[in-house]
A and B are shown apart, each in its own frame.
Chain A
Amino acid sequence: MKKFSPILLPISLFILLQTLISSGVLNPYWQQIIQFACIITISSLGLNLIYGYTGQFSLGHAAFYGIGAYTSALITKTFPHSGILIFFASLIIAIIIVALVSFLIGLPILRLKSDYLGIATLGFGIIMKVIFDNADAVIPRLGGSRGMGTIPKFTNFTWSFFVTIGTILIIRNFVFSSLGRACISIREDEIASECVGINTTKYKTMGFVIGCVFAGVAGVLYAHLYTFLHPSNFDFLKSIDVLLIVVLGGLGSISGTIIAAVGWTFLLEGLRVLLPPEILDWRLVIYPLLLIVVMILRPKGLGGSIEFKFLKSG
């Protein structure tokens, strides 16, 4: 069956990059950038599921990223010297917490239509940021607006890479199944979807929770890569970043999202490298200009709805 050739690509990519890292060709700075690209990809794939596939306009994605980050960091900091096992446990617990919170929030909120849903999720994101800012009043270890530091650095390239591959596989398997089709039908026409027997509330919630869980997973990896968390990392501007990526990649395109996420990370870093230090500030001026130009020229995003062939088969 065709199943073998798709596996070859990620394995060879991993071997290539890992070699570059171990041999020192890629210095720690670039190692971190590559891992960050993986993390952003995971988060973006989550939002793509929520918005690109199920059509639910969520502007609060960073909140779940943050919940995953803080939850896992709290656990690994509370039980230091417990090895990789505690990292794994913190990942599981973070997933459960994010799933719970997104489920409870989703239930009332997903009833709202498009723009209003966006605003409600935006509001939720802001509420979470305020909670992050003041969390140290309840649990001092969370740091609040002073930040939370000395988180053990468990994330490495292997973790980042393979969790990303796992994310791609899970989302792609979901999307190309009857449940995934049910979600897509909601995006296409919610009323028609209900009338052909799809329990739209159930599938909207399912898409939302799964998407938020991936944001949480990305947050876990982020916390244990940068080893320092501050609430400003999880404000609504971060939710907007992910939204930009998902739209640029083409709504409802897994490959588009991956390319856009990786491309976005390297664009911002590339500009930092390319521009001479005197005009480094222009980096953040060029970036939105590029955004505007791309949107005007390709309003459907760079990917449209094309998918890599190997993602579709099987």
Chain B
Amino acid sequence: MSYFLQQLINGLQLGFVYALIALGYTMVYGIVRLINFAHGDVFMVGAYIGYFGICYFHLPFPVALAFSMLGCAILGITIERIAYKPLRTAPRIASLITAIGVSLFLEYFTSLKFVFGPNYLAYPRPFKVTTFYLGDVSVSTIQLIVFSVAIILLILLQYFVQKTKMGMAMRAVSFDKETASLMGINIDGVISLTFGIGSALAAAGGVLYGIAYPQINPFMGIMPGLKAFVAAVLGGIGNIPGAVLGAVIMGVVETMSSAFISSTLRDAIAFSILIIVLLWRPSGILGKRETEKV
């Protein structure tokens, strides 16, 4: 039983990291209907910025985190302006292919020796790590930090989206872009803001991931990005609470499968569950039933 609880906590840790990535996917998809393949790589860059901040500039952890989030927000906005904006009126598949191009570029460029280099780097832990015990279940400082940072960011995001004017603008644009622009909303600004926030959250995810699973390399974003994306779809793409729900489910299922069934089969199990859920709820768990008007 305590093993089960232990794995549950581990799964939640992973799930919250996935949630921070999944939110970027879901918000961007909600607003421009783009599957931003490069998002997982922004997560990777965020991890690296945090690494350099802590190791080379000896920044305290919260500052490094903030710095990484800011850096990736700028990166995300830049990518959007250069690569996606020109294709807003083109067929959607063109944007998707471009996103793939950006993803590959980020991966291979950063793996060049004079950038980040292709090797694994060990992530620093710039705070004291202690382990707390609740009965047989252990919870470490790392997990507490992951939970608290993630939850704080999620609450901030929810507040922003629901209670501020900019958040309302974001919701309006994702609902109906044309009408929103007719109402005087600056579409370009809202889209940039969305990319910025999504990228910042991914960066936070990257730093937390580095701290929790302390090895980073330029290709580390591929699988978590994919899984976070799947999580966003699972929860209903475009739906913010759905993304969190999907991500937590993905994280827990993955960890539980690895612990109780087989570590090598865990991806297969996770994705099988995805397919089953999609067949039952084709628009995701909390997704809107997008019925086509006939």
Check whether chain A touches chain B (CB < 8 angstroms).
yes
Instruction: Tell me how far the C-beta of A99 lies from the nearest C-beta in chain B, rounded to whole angstroms.
Output: 20
Bound-complex Cα distance A179 to B264 (A): 42
Contact B105 A288 (CB under 8 A): yes
Bound-complex Cα distance A239 to B231 (A): 20
Contact B87 A285 (CB under 8 A): no
Bound-complex Cα distance A248 to B101 (A): 12
Contact B112 A116 (CB under 8 A): no
Contact A130 B94 (CB under 8 A): no
Total A residues in contact with B, Cβ cutoff 8 Å? 41
Contact B264 A130 (CB under 8 A): yes
Q: Is B184 an interface residue (CB 8 A)?
A: no
Instruction: Tell me how far the C-beta of B156 lies from the nearest C-beta in chain A, rounded to whole angstroms.
Output: 28
Binary contact readout A76-119 vs B (1 if CB under 8 angstroms, 0 otherwise): 00000000000000000000000000000000110111011011
Contact A299 B94 (CB under 8 A): yes
Bound-complex Cα distance A104 to B222 (A): 29
Contact B275 A116 (CB under 8 A): no
Q: Is B233 an interface residue (CB 8 A)?
A: yes
> Please, which residue of chain B has its CB at the minimum distance from the CB of A127?
B268
Q: Report the stretch among B50-58, B65-73, B276-284 that lies at the interface.
A: B276-284
> Please, which residue of chain A has its CB at the minimum distance from the CB of B33?
A115
Q: Is A258 an interface residue (CB 8 A)?
A: no
- With a 10 A CB-CB cut-off, give which of B35, B264, B292 has the most chain A CB atoms: B264
Bound-complex Cα distance A270 to B241 (A): 47
The list of the 8 closest CB pairs from A to B, nearest first, reads A299-B90, A299-B94, A123-B271, A288-B104, A291-B101, A130-B268, A292-B101, A284-B108
Q: Which residues of B in the span 70-109 have a Cβ within 8 Å of any Cβ on A?
A: 83, 86-87, 90-91, 93-94, 97-98, 100-105, 108-109
Contact-size category for B: 35 or more
CB within 8 Å of A: which residues of B? 35, 83, 86-87, 90-91, 93-94, 97-98, 100-105, 108-109, 111-113, 222, 226, 229-230, 233, 237, 264-265, 267-268, 271-272, 274-275, 278-279, 282-283, 290, 292, 294
Contact B109 A285 (CB under 8 A): yes
Q: List 25 A-B contacts (CB under 8 A).
A: A112-B278, A115-B233, A115-B237, A119-B274, A120-B274, A120-B279, A123-B274, A124-B271, A126-B271, A130-B264, A130-B265, A130-B267, A131-B268, A237-B222, A243-B97, A247-B93, A247-B97, A285-B108, A285-B112, A288-B100, A288-B103, A288-B104, A291-B100, A292-B102, A295-B98
Bound-complex Cα distance A239 to B103 (A): 15
Bound-complex Cα distance A234 to B115 (A): 29
Q: Which residues of A contact B268 (CB under 8 A)?
A: 126-127, 130-131
A123-B271, A291-B98 given; A134·B265 CB < 8 A:
yes
Bound-complex Cα distance A240 to B102 (A): 13
User: DSSP majority for the A interface?
Assistant: helix
Q: Which residues of B contact A115 (CB under 8 A)?
A: 35, 233, 237
A284-B108, A292-B102, A300-B91 given; A116·B282 CB < 8 A:
yes
Q: Which residues of B contact A127 (CB under 8 A)?
A: 267-268, 271-272
Bound-complex Cα distance A287 to B279 (A): 37
Contact A295 B97 (CB under 8 A): yes
Q: B105 is contacted by which of A131, A237, A285, A300 (Cβ under 8 Å)?
A: A285
- With a 10 A CB-CB cut-off, give which of B278, B283, B292 has the most chain A CB atoms: B278
Contact B94 A247 (CB under 8 A): yes
Bound-complex Cα distance A109 to B108 (A): 34
Q: B91 is contacted by which of A109, A124, A134, A299 (Cβ under 8 Å)?
A: A299
Contact A244 B97 (CB under 8 A): yes
Q: Is A307 an interface residue (CB 8 A)?
A: no
Bound-complex Cα distance A108 to B93 (A): 24
